[in-house]
A and B are shown apart, each in its own frame.
Chain A
Amino acid sequence: MEGSRPLVHRWTEMSTAFLRIPAPLIPSRMELTLEGVPFVVDGRVPHQDVHLFVEGAFTAFARLAGAGVVSGVLPASVIKPGQAELTLAVVTPDSVVPATLGLGDDQRSLGFALQRLTLGA
């Protein structure tokens, strides 16, 4: 919970998940931060490696064993004047299908639950 508002999240459901966000109007040095929670299971899945690419360019990496952030500076080359959107790829090589661990019926390959994305100068 954050104040009285519940934090919603969206899981990555495959080892590679994509999302598109509006591109900054003016190309400049920007920092991209993803906040969220990894799919971990005591004694079985200790952490998730999260690789972040923007327009294909490596932007950030984090190994998360609990709630945390994946943050990096956007490579200047990825933002072009007039570009409407940026494509983000979130790669979680160790994503796991909970059902294969005997944890319910969920057949999705869970890696990282995104709670907040921030793009700022």
Chain B
Amino acid sequence: MGIWSLEAGTPSLQAYLASGWSFDLPEGGGDPAVWTIAQEASLVLPTPPSGDRDVRMELTLSPFVGADVTHQDVWVFFGDLFCAFGRIASQGVVSGLLPRQALTGPTFTMRVNLPDACRPADLGVSADQRLLGVRFISMSLVWE
């Protein structure tokens, strides 16, 4: 069995964030706050050495909710290929099998689509003008 994982506190995390993410280090120290700040965010990840085995992806996220926004829909694609969907109202896991066609090169691109992302300022819950969807907590790829 093999496992490859990333957490918000992983020092190299920022290197994998391709687009659509914030990376804010707290003043008092601790893990960075990594939020999606667009309706699509992407990561570029190393292809796992899984051979012909199925690879399961588990993405732990915390949604932005407030006022009338009760959940975030999360669609995960690898390249153009669907991998997983989840509707999360609190911290939770979105999981699915990686499409094998996406694992042909040394790296692959994971796209996270967030149709319900919204600006806290528009909801009147804070002055934050960013388009928030989900906060990245951790991610793992597991193959048997």
Interface residues of A (CB under 8 A from B): 15-16, 51, 53, 55-58, 77, 87, 89, 91, 93
CA distance A58 to B77 in the complex (A): 11
Give me 10 other A-B pairs in contact (C-beta within 8 A), A57-B81, A77-B101 excluded: A16-B84, A53-B82, A55-B99, A56-B81, A56-B83, A58-B80, A89-B82, A91-B85, A93-B85, A93-B87
Interface centre among A15, A56, A87, A89 (most CB of B within 10 A): A56
Given contacts A16-B96, A93-B73, contact A56 B102 (CB under 8 A): yes
Q: Does B20 contact A (CB under 8 A)?
A: no
Instruction: List A contacts of B136 (CB < 8 A).
Output: none
Q: Does B78 contact A (CB under 8 A)?
A: yes
Q: Does B48 contact A (CB under 8 A)?
A: no
CA distance A15 to B93 in the complex (A): 13
Interface residues of B (CB under 8 A from A): 73, 77-78, 80-87, 96-97, 99, 101-102
CA distance A15 to B83 in the complex (A): 13
Instruction: List B contacts of A53 (CB < 8 A).
Output: 81-82
CA distance A26 to B78 in the complex (A): 27
Minimum-distance CB pairs A-B, first 7? A56-B81, A56-B99, A53-B82, A91-B85, A56-B82, A16-B85, A93-B73
Instruction: List B contacts of A15 (CB < 8 A).
Output: 85-87
Given contacts A16-B96, A93-B73, contact A57 B87 (CB under 8 A): no
Q: List 20 A-B contacts (CB under 8 A).
A: A15-B85, A15-B86, A16-B86, A16-B96, A53-B81, A53-B82, A55-B99, A55-B101, A56-B82, A56-B83, A56-B99, A56-B102, A58-B82, A87-B97, A89-B82, A89-B96, A91-B82, A91-B85, A93-B85, A93-B87
